[in-house]
Chains A and B, each alone.
Chain A
Amino acid sequence: MKKYIGKRLAISLVTLLIVIFVLFLLLQLMPGSPFNDERLSQEQIAVMSEKYGLDQPVTVQFFRYVKNLCKGDFGVSYVISKDTSISVLLENRVPISFGIGGEAVAFGAVIGLILGILAALKHNSWWDTLCTFISVIGVSLPSYVFALALAYFVGFKAQWLPLLYDGKQFFASSVMPMIALSMFTVATVARFTRTSLLEVLDSEYMLLAESKGITGPTLMLRHAMRNALIPIVTVLAPLVVDLMIGSLVIEKIFSIPGIGSLMVTAIQSNDYNVTITLAFIYSVMYIVLMLIVDIVYGIIDPRIRLAGKTD
């Protein structure tokens, strides 16, 4: 197991380095510069480029960037909020996005699992039909439709929950964006749980476990769910990243000061460091999650953990 984790970790680090390099190159290739203002003269642009080190060769810039990155310094913003350190810029936004995203992940996974398990256990009943119906709606309707519907009925008409994001009552104001965000996850997890559990329930080892006399939660948890979880973990991981990073549309609807909207602004205004940092965070999360998924696989499935071991 240790060797397995070590191998995954090494692969993750290499991936991360490549990601930074590609990101950096892509930004260099992007048209325009942070100083696109027509009022700026050539001299002024030259002065500013020199100030931020943008006049130096790309390789020099890259290594300087990586060096600073290792120290935890993401650089400063050029446009959005001039000369503010990016850590400061993100300080307030990241916890909000991650908070709502985390809630959405938990909500989506739990509700999705429950729906999927019910559908599989009561296969071909009205429960099953209901779950399929919810899944289809969740997958096919974009999240902003849910967001608008929730905002209108729950927030505006019934006034049960605050319409807009409010830092002072984080939880209450995050419920609607959380539900809107997680509908796709609920649907996907429910669908995969249903399919995967049905397949397991139909398997011969379940028949063998039953013919041993095993019943109830032991049968379901020890024999069925553990086997059914493997494909579910696979689909859940990328969804987690999507939810954590937030969605521009949802942030706009509920006026949440998250990182989704920051990303769009940064790209539009050629704010190199902000764009790169956000893309970097996105990649790191992805890589970390994939690492976690790989480790979870290893824990659940001995066929992966013991792969390559001759015995």
Chain B
Amino acid sequence: MREKILSIQNLNISFETTAGMVNAVRGVNLSVYRGETVALVGESGSGKSVSAKAIMGILAKNGTIDSGDITLSYYRQEEKVTRDILSMDKKEIRRHVNGKRIAMVFQDPMTSLNPLIPVGKQVMEGMLWHYHTPKEEAYQKALDLLKLVGITDAEKRMKNYPHQLSGGMRQRVVIAIALSCDPDLLICDEPTTALDVTIQSKILELIQEIQKRKKLSVIYITHDLGVVAKVADYVNVMYAGKIVESGTVNEVFYDPKHPYTWGLLSAMPDLGTEDERLYTIPGSPPNLLHRITGDAFAPRNKYALKIDSRVEPPMFKVSDTHYAATWLLHPKAPKVELPGELKARIDRMMKEGEHYDKTGKQ
């Protein structure tokens, strides 16, 4: 039985800027179940980080949540509690949610650690703050966490300052900090973007391993489809502040329905790509300062129908887990074939996937 721990309903967030109101998030729905991994994918400015920050109650000062619910379920002394985060004030969120229930790993480990405090203390801080853990106990736990995230010579590293550690090590420390109060949900906001490729896969594997061990749920925020394919159970593709397609990894990668997802998948380089130019989605995302009528992706979409410019498509159901917001799924819509190039690529991916499955089983 899957246990839902976080549910976001119809979340709308806007920012007040000098140019006017920007509707950064426009009606996002998202569910996270215990132990599962959900990915939020989209290009810069699609609203993925903003959604995550709303969950943590750390939106920038000029941002307001216009409507929606974010409900979080957790256990307090064996008793299940369900609370709406958006109805809590900042102090309550800090006391009951941040660090304890939901923890966050930020994008750039070079700037996300306090430069003036030894890393050991930074790992211990959350425990001392929330649970008043005795110092020796907190120290021991921090030490264990540093070992868990794969930091060698952990005892010595406890006393080190962030500037004495490499980028990969720092990100491991940030993960240790996130784990320090045993949260149920980990939000990773592009956790590997600032790291080089070899470290990237190591950090991803580390998060996966810890997730399995601690039955953690993870939300990955990324624009890297490679990361998504590697770690996610469920994928939500975001465009212009909306989720346009959601489904299991296999559904979204092997049977994508939204033209934007097609574009994203076509734009991803893979080993099978021959000498031809890599595909790019034409145009750029809409300016969210202006009200959007119809489908936000329509101007960049060569498969756009007439209705796209007038009416926003609802989420059409493809399967119990697979939904996409495109009029192409309407029964009356003309049949549109996947672009040939992409089809070939998906075939390659499937073959590769089967190969991995076989070798994995051996």
Q: Does B61 contact A (CB under 8 A)?
A: yes
The residue in chain B whose Cβ has the minimal distance to the Cβ of A200 is: B114
Q: Does A211 contact B (CB under 8 A)?
A: yes
Q: Are A302 and B163 in contact, with the CB atoms below 8 A?
A: yes
Contacts of B126 in A (CB 8 A): 212-214
Q: A208-B177, A211-B104, A226-B116 are in contact. Are A123 and B61 (CB under 8 A)?
A: yes
Q: A222-B117, A226-B116 are in contact. Are A212 and B106 (CB under 8 A)?
A: no
Q: Does B112 contact A (CB under 8 A)?
A: yes
Partner of B161 from the list A212, A222, A303 (CB cut-off 8 Å) is: A303
Partner of B98 from the list A205, A212, A218, A302 (CB cut-off 8 Å) is: A212
Contacts of B97 in A (CB 8 A): 213
* Chain B 106-136 residues near chain A, CB threshold 8 A: 106-108, 111-118, 125-126, 129-130
Q: Are B125 and A311 in contact, with the CB atoms below 8 A?
A: no
* Chain A 267-303 residues near chain B, CB threshold 8 A: 300-303
Give the most central of B100, B116, B118, B164: most A CB within 10 Å: B116
* Chain A 96-117 residues near chain B, CB threshold 8 A: none
Q: Are B163 and A212 in contact, with the CB atoms below 8 A?
A: no
Contacts of B247 in A (CB 8 A): none
Q: Are A218 and B113 in contact, with the CB atoms below 8 A?
A: no
Q: Are B104 and A208 in contact, with the CB atoms below 8 A?
A: yes
Partner of B112 from the list A208, A213, A300, A302 (CB cut-off 8 Å) is: A208
Give the most central of A211, A212, A218, A223: most B CB within 10 Å: A211
Q: Does B94 contact A (CB under 8 A)?
A: yes
Q: Complex formed: what's the CA distance from A303 to B117 in Å?
A: 11
Q: Does B6 contact A (CB under 8 A)?
A: no
Q: Does A1 contact B (CB under 8 A)?
A: no
Q: Are A306 and B114 in contact, with the CB atoms below 8 A?
A: no
Q: Complex formed: what's the CA distance from A207 to B113 in Å?
A: 10
Q: Does B313 contact A (CB under 8 A)?
A: no
Least distance between A194 CB and chain B CB atoms (Å): 16
Contacts of B94 in A (CB 8 A): 210, 213-215
Q: A204-B106, A212-B125 are in contact. Are A223 and B91 (CB under 8 A)?
A: no
Q: Complex formed: what's the CA distance from A203 to B113 in Å?
A: 10
Contacts of A87 in B (CB 8 A): none
Q: A207-B58, A222-B117 are in contact. Are A213 and B130 (CB under 8 A)?
A: yes
Instruction: Give how many A-B residue pairs fall within 8 Å (CB-CB).
Output: 82
Q: B residues touching A (Cβ–Cβ < 8 Å)? A: 56, 58, 61, 90-91, 94-95, 97-100, 103-104, 106-108, 111-118, 125-126, 129-130, 160-161, 163-164, 174, 177, 181
The residue in chain A whose Cβ has the minimal distance to the Cβ of B110 is: A204
Partner of B125 from the list A203, A214, A302 (CB cut-off 8 Å) is: A214
Q: Does A209 contact B (CB under 8 A)?
A: yes
Q: Are A301 and B164 in contact, with the CB atoms below 8 A?
A: no
Q: Are B161 and A208 in contact, with the CB atoms below 8 A?
A: no
The residue in chain B whose Cβ has the minimal distance to the Cβ of A305 is: B161
Least distance between A89 CB and chain B CB atoms (Å): 46
Give the most central of A123, A212, A222, A302: most B CB within 10 Å: A212
Least distance between B229 CB and chain A CB atoms (Å): 27
The residue in chain A whose Cβ has the minimal distance to the Cβ of B161 is: A302
Q: Complex formed: what's the CA distance from A204 to B174 in Å?
A: 12
* Chain A 213-238 residues near chain B, CB threshold 8 A: 213-215, 218, 222-223, 226-227
Q: A212-B98, A213-B100, A226-B116 are in contact. Are A303 and B58 (CB under 8 A)?
A: no
The residue in chain B whose Cβ has the minimal distance to the Cβ of A303 is: B163
Contacts of A214 in B (CB 8 A): 94, 125-126, 129
Contacts of A203 in B (CB 8 A): 111
Least distance between B93 CB and chain A CB atoms (Å): 8
Contacts of B98 in A (CB 8 A): 210-213
Q: A123-B61, A211-B58, A213-B129 are in contact. Are A301 and B91 (CB under 8 A)?
A: no
The residue in chain B whose Cβ has the minimal distance to the Cβ of A223 is: B114
Q: Are A212 and B177 in contact, with the CB atoms below 8 A?
A: yes
Contacts of A301 in B (CB 8 A): 115-116
Contacts of B95 in A (CB 8 A): 213, 215
Q: Are A208 and B113 in contact, with the CB atoms below 8 A?
A: yes
Q: Complex formed: what's the CA distance from A250 to B355 in Å?
A: 86
- In the complex, 10 of the A-B residue pairs with CB atoms within 8 angstroms, ordered by the A residue number, are A203-B111, A204-B107, A205-B111, A207-B112, A210-B56, A211-B103, A212-B125, A213-B95, A300-B116, A306-B164
Contacts of B112 in A (CB 8 A): 204-205, 207-208
Q: A210-B58, A213-B99 are in contact. Are A227 and B106 (CB under 8 A)?
A: no
The residue in chain A whose Cβ has the minimal distance to the Cβ of B61 is: A123
Contacts of B106 in A (CB 8 A): 204, 207-208
The residue in chain B whose Cβ has the minimal distance to the Cβ of A202 is: B60
